[in-house]
Chains A and B, each alone.
Chain A
Amino acid sequence: MRTRWLAAVVLIAVVLASPGAPWIGAERAGGQQKEFKVGVALSLSGIFSKDAGLFKEVYDLWAETVNKAGGIKVKGSGYPIHITYYDDESSPQKSAQLIERLATADKVDLILAGFGSSIAFAATAVAEKYKYPYISGAASANPLFKRNYKYFFAMLNKTFDEVEGAAKVFTLAQPKPTKAAVIGSDHLFGKLAAEGFKKFMGEIGVDLVHFEIFPLDLQDYNSLLLKVKRANPDVLLVGGLFNHALRVMKATKEVDFSPKGIAFSYGPTVPDFLKEFGKDADGVIAASEWLPSFPFKDPIFGSAAQFNDTIQQKFGHPADYVQAAAAGGLVAQQSAIEKLGLQPPLDEKAREALMEQLHKQDVATLYGQVKFGADGAIVQKPPIAVQIQNGKFAMVYPREVGGAQAAKLIYPLAPWRSR
Chain B
Amino acid sequence: MAVPVELVQTLINGILQGGVYAAAAVGLSLIFGVSGILNAAHGELVMLGAFATYWLFTLYHVDALLTLPISFVLLFALGWALQYFLLNRTLGRPLLLSLLVTFGVSLILVNVALRLWSADHRMLRIPYFQRSWIIGDFIVPLSRVVACVVGYGMVAALSWLLSATRLGRMIRATAQDGEMARMCGVNPRTIYAITFGIGSGVSGVAGSLVAFYAPVEPNMGLTYTLFAFAVVVLGGLGYTAGVIWGGLALGVAQALTETYLEAGLSLLVAFVLLYAILRFMPAGIMGKGRLE
B interface footprint on A44-57 (CB within 8 Å = 1, 0 otherwise): 11110110010000
Apart from A47-B219, A220-B258, A254-B213, 16 more pairs, CB < 8 Å: A44-B114, A45-B219, A49-B120, A53-B120, A212-B263, A214-B263, A215-B263, A215-B266, A223-B10, A223-B13, A226-B13, A227-B259, A230-B6, A253-B130, A254-B132, A254-B144
Most chain A CB inside 10 Å of its own CB: which residue of B104, B115, B213, B264:
B104
The 9 closest A-B pairs by CB, nearest first: A49-B119, A13-B104, A214-B263, A254-B141, A16-B111, A13-B107, A223-B258, A17-B107, A2-B89
The interface residues of chain A lying within 8 Å CB-to-CB of B217 are: 50, 243
A254 to B138, alpha carbons, bound, how many Å? 12
Within 8 A of B (CB), among A43-99: 44-47, 49-50, 53
A interface footprint on B137-174 (CB within 8 Å = 1, 0 otherwise): 00101011000000000000000000000000000000
Most chain B CB inside 10 Å of its own CB: which residue of A16, A23, A213, A253:
A16
The interface residues of chain A lying within 8 Å CB-to-CB of B278 are: none
Docked-complex contact B264 and A222, CB < 8 angstroms: no
A249 CB, min distance to chain B CBs, angstroms: 9
The interface residues of chain A lying within 8 Å CB-to-CB of B110 are: 17, 45
Query: Counting CB contacts under 8 A, is A218 at the interface?
Result: yes
Within 8 A of B (CB), among A1-49: 2, 5-6, 9-10, 12-14, 16-17, 23-24, 44-47, 49
B47 CB, min distance to chain A CBs, angstroms: 13
The interface residues of chain B lying within 8 Å CB-to-CB of A50 are: 119-121, 217
A5 to B114, alpha carbons, bound, how many Å? 24
Docked-complex contact B120 and A213, CB < 8 angstroms: no
- Contact for B255 among A220, A246, A255, CB less than 8 A: A220
Docked-complex contact B263 and A243, CB < 8 angstroms: no
Within 8 A of A (CB), among B216-238: 217-219, 223, 227
Please name the residue on chain B nearest to A52 by beta carbon: B119
Main SS class of interface, B: helix
The interface residues of chain B lying within 8 Å CB-to-CB of A215 are: 263-264, 266-267
B interface footprint on A255-299 (CB within 8 Å = 1, 0 otherwise): 110000000000000001000101000000000000000000000
Which residues of B are interface residues toward A (Cβ below 8 A)?
6, 9-10, 13-14, 17, 86, 89-90, 97, 100-101, 103-105, 107-108, 110-112, 114-115, 118-121, 123, 125, 130, 132, 134, 139, 141, 143-144, 213-215, 217-219, 223, 227, 251, 254-255, 258-259, 262-264, 266-267
Which residues of A are interface residues toward B (Cβ below 8 A)?
2, 5-6, 9-10, 12-14, 16-17, 23-24, 44-47, 49-50, 53, 186, 212-215, 217-220, 222-224, 226-227, 230, 242-243, 246-247, 250, 253-256, 272, 276, 278
The interface residues of chain A lying within 8 Å CB-to-CB of B118 are: 49, 53
B84 CB, min distance to chain A CBs, angstroms: 12
Docked-complex contact A226 and B9, CB < 8 angstroms: yes
Docked-complex contact A186 and B105, CB < 8 angstroms: no
Docked-complex contact B119 and A6, CB < 8 angstroms: no
The interface residues of chain A lying within 8 Å CB-to-CB of B251 are: 220
Most chain A CB inside 10 Å of its own CB: which residue of B107, B223, B227:
B107
Docked-complex contact B123 and A246, CB < 8 angstroms: yes
Please name the residue on chain B nearest to A222 by beta carbon: B13
Docked-complex contact A224 and B132, CB < 8 angstroms: no
The interface residues of chain B lying within 8 Å CB-to-CB of A47 are: 219
Docked-complex contact A250 and B89, CB < 8 angstroms: no
A376 to B262, alpha carbons, bound, how many Å? 36
A222 to B6, alpha carbons, bound, how many Å? 13
Given A45-B219, A47-B219, A186-B264, A9–B120 Cβ distance below 8 Å? no
A272 to B90, alpha carbons, bound, how many Å? 43
A226 to B16, alpha carbons, bound, how many Å? 14
A17 to B254, alpha carbons, bound, how many Å? 33
Docked-complex contact A254 and B111, CB < 8 angstroms: no
A414 to B159, alpha carbons, bound, how many Å? 47
Docked-complex contact A246 and B108, CB < 8 angstroms: no
Docked-complex contact B213 and A250, CB < 8 angstroms: yes
The interface residues of chain A lying within 8 Å CB-to-CB of B227 are: 219
Docked-complex contact B214 and A12, CB < 8 angstroms: no
- Contact for A255 among B14, B132, B143, CB less than 8 A: B132
Docked-complex contact B104 and A255, CB < 8 angstroms: no
Docked-complex contact A226 and B139, CB < 8 angstroms: yes
Most chain A CB inside 10 Å of its own CB: which residue of B141, B217, B263:
B263
The interface residues of chain B lying within 8 Å CB-to-CB of A255 are: 132, 139, 141
Please name the residue on chain A nearest to B10 by beta carbon: A223
Docked-complex contact A17 and B139, CB < 8 angstroms: no
The interface residues of chain A lying within 8 Å CB-to-CB of B6 are: 230
A103 to B212, alpha carbons, bound, how many Å? 45
Docked-complex contact B266 and A218, CB < 8 angstroms: yes
- Contact for A256 among B139, B213, B219, CB less than 8 A: B139
A140 CB, min distance to chain B CBs, angstroms: 22
Docked-complex contact A219 and B223, CB < 8 angstroms: yes
Docked-complex contact A17 and B111, CB < 8 angstroms: yes
The interface residues of chain B lying within 8 Å CB-to-CB of A24 are: 115
A12 to B125, alpha carbons, bound, how many Å? 36
The interface residues of chain B lying within 8 Å CB-to-CB of A219 are: 17, 214, 223, 227, 254, 266
A348 CB, min distance to chain B CBs, angstroms: 35
